[in-house]
Amino acid sequence: MKTKVAIIGSGNIGTDLMIKVLRLSDTLEAGAMVGIDPASDGLARARRLGVPVTAEGVEGLVRMDGFEDIKIVFDATSAKAHVTNAAVLAPHGKQLIDLTPAAIGPMVIPAVNLTEHVAADNVNMVTCGGQATIPVVAAISQVAPVPYAEIVASIASKSAGPGTRANIDEFTETTSHAIERVGGAGRGKAVIILNPAEPPLIMRDTVLALVNAPERVTHEAIRASIASMVEQVSAYVPGYRLKRQVQITPVPADQPVHTLTSDPVTHQVSVFLEVEGAAHYLPAYAGNLDIMTSAAVRMAEAMAAHSNELQGAGA
């Protein structure tokens, strides 16, 4: 049997999530679409596709017929709204996948720590920039210490809706923490750029990592680790790719970057990425939204598989 899921938030991200669940997942079933605007395109599309809907927010979800059968709830609203939604759902035993920067629960990047939190009540999918860049930071950390890592996420302004714009501060803070906690960097920094170019440009991400690479750690080993990680991410985000060859340059003792960390630094690793959306619902340039929904679906499938294994063992 498929695991029933609900989606809170009938905007771009929530609607794309619903489409992915309906079209791509063999293990998930869209059990409800939740919004607050009865006239939203997301709710209208859900009705046409036969997905139960409510325009009364999380309280309406709790009152819906079949709510007891829903096991996993995606929250695609805002950081502030997620705090309220999590509190309302807490007594009902659902697992929450938070696509906002609220970061109430443990942070998850599927290619890095997918299996660590499959039993958690509330997991956080960090941010679009985090999903794109933290796997690379983690890949470098697997080979050599990373005292400092900085990421820059450049997204099309047209792909940044009201929720994204309202959460800019939370984006930088949550992503910076995740670079350290999940990526393994000693210190992390995140920057987001809303690019107003027309026609809109595909999401681009840059990772700049300062590493302390002993002589035994070859440049080839760093590049191989990054290439392996990119392959893992592209398994669930097909439009995720390296834009150019990984650059590794020595860091002289008098270079200004040494002010960023007090730990020893020998090299700077520069990685340039591109994320093209799958265009299931959103345009292809909105890779920033596609990588979030793709990662969230991957996490939900892992949660469902874990739950089914436990039920099977209990039987």
pLDDT for 293 equals: 97
Angstrom distance (rounded) from CA 176 to CA 266: 22
239 is in an annotated binding site: no
DSSP state of 160: -
93 is in an annotated binding site: no
DSSP state of 107: B
Choosing from 76, 128, 139, 303, the catalytic residue is 128
Angstrom distance (rounded) from CA 112 to CA 65: 37
45 is in an annotated binding site: no
124 is in an annotated binding site: no
pLDDT for 253 equals: 83
CA-based nearest residue to 31, from 10, 9, 56, 2 = 2
In the chain, the DSSP E strands lie at 3-8, 28-34, 53-54, 70-75, 95-98, 122-124, 148-156, 187-195, 203-211, 240-242, 247-250, 267-275
85 is in an annotated binding site: no
CA-based nearest residue to 150, from 292, 257, 254, 274 = 257
Residue pair 64/26 in contact by the 8 Å Cβ criterion = no
- Domains and their CATH numbers in the chain: 3-125+291-314 (3.40.50.720), 128-283 (3.30.360.10)
DSSP state of 243: S
288 is in an annotated binding site: yes
162 is in an annotated binding site: yes
Q: What is the dihedral of CA 79, 126, 17, 291, to 10 degrees?
A: 140
HSE of 134 in the Cβ direction (CA atoms, 13 Å)? 32
Name the H helices within 142-271.
162-166, 168-181, 219-234
Q: Give how far the C-alpha of residue 91 lies from the chain's centroid of Cα atoms, to the nearest Å.
A: 26
Angstrom distance (rounded) from CA 3 to CA 22: 12
Angstrom distance (rounded) from CA 154 to CA 102: 21
pLDDT for 315 equals: 52
163 is in an annotated binding site: yes
Angstrom distance (rounded) from CA 195 to CA 154: 6
Backbone angles phi and psi of 273, in degrees to 5: -120, 160
Contacts of 58 (CB under 8 A, 6+ apart): 8, 34, 84, 85, 88, 89
Angstrom distance (rounded) from CA 144 to CA 211: 6
Residue 128 a catalytic site member: yes
Q: What is the dihedral of CA 23, 28, 30, 31, to 10 degrees?
A: 160
Q: How many residues does the chain have?
A: 315
CA-based nearest residue to 224, from 250, 251, 246 = 246
Reading the chain (315 residues) residue by residue, the pLDDT tens digits are 899 999 999 999 999 999 999 999 999 999 999 999 999 999 999 999 999 999 999 999 999 999 999 999 999 999 999 999 999 999 999 999 999 999 999 999 999 999 999 999 999 999 999 999 999 999 999 999 999 999 999 999 999 888 788 889 989 999 999 999 999 999 999 999 999 999 999 999 999 999 998 887 899 999 999 999 999 999 999 999 999 999 999 998 888 887 899 999 999 999 999 999 999 999 999 999 999 999 999 999 999 999 999 887 765
